[in-house]
Chain A
Amino acid sequence: GQNIDQPTEMTATEGAIVQINCTYQTSGFNGLFWYQQHAGEAPTFLSYNVLDGLEEKGRFSSFLSRSKGYSYLLLKELQMKDSASYLCAVRAGANNLFFGTGTRLTVIP
């Protein structure tokens, strides 16, 4: 089976940097995704890592270590609109996408 762990909740200050971690145990790993989901809305794609290393996209960066089964999402220059749930998802096995339970981030002034 697949096991994906991420913190349930985090709080950070506007303008700061926050790192959301995700650890996974899976067979047939084929990529890791991060999605953002605002309350009552659809998840939207943020980033994709399939090789080890850092992928940077504006204020958001994502890191992957396949040997450690570990990823993080780094959000810089936090804004109030970044308050949302962040979902870590692993593609594995028969190309299914398995999601963690999500990390609810609250940005405070």
Chain B
Amino acid sequence: KQEVTQIPAALSVPEGENLVLNCSFTDSAIYNLQWFRQDPGKGLTSLLLIQSSQREQTSGRLNASLDKSSGRSTLYIAASQPGDSATYLCAVDSGGGADGLTFGKGTHLIIQP
């Protein structure tokens, strides 16, 4: 059974810093991995999707890497801004008989102005 763990559970940093969020998963047989952002009381916004054959994806100040063999992904946020404050969720698609995404519990990020 796939399990996804995110570290740290919460993070507070001053504006302008670069930061890294970590995600690990127990079963390396995945189709893809997604990073989402969730604002309080809101739905999920997809940030980046990395296919199992890819090593990384970039969008603006965000860069996500994937090391499938070691079961790890990182989300790098450059030059953080207060508007980046949110909960960041990592989810893996294991496919096969389990057709839903398996989510971690998220990292609650606060960027101090």
Q: Do A and B come from one complex?
A: no
